[in-house]
Amino acid sequence: MKGCGQFRPIAKASEVLGERWTNLVIRELIAGSESFNDLRKGLPLISPPLLSSRLKSLERAGVVERVEKGKAVSYSLTAAGDELKPIIMQSGVWGPRCG
| pLDDT of 4 higher than 80 | no
For residue 36, the model assigns a pLDDT of 98
Which domains does the chain carry? Answer: 15-92 (1.10.10.10)
Write down the pLDDT at residue 2. Answer: 52
- pTM value is 0.88
Query: So what's the pLDDT on residue 52?
Result: 98
- Mean of the pLDDT values across residues 68-82? 96
Spatial separation of the C-alpha atoms in residues 46 and 50, rounded to whole Å: 7
Q: How far apart are CA 95 and CA 97, in angstroms?
A: 5
Between 35 and 11, the more confident residue is 35
pLDDT score of 18 more than 60: yes
- Residue 17 burial (CB count, 10 A): 17
- In this prediction, residue 24 carries a pLDDT of 97
Across 58-86, average pLDDT: 97
One-character DSSP codes across 17-83: H-STTHHHHHHHHHTT--SHHHHHHH-TTS-HHHHHHHHHHHHHTTSEEEEEETTEEEEEE-HHHHT
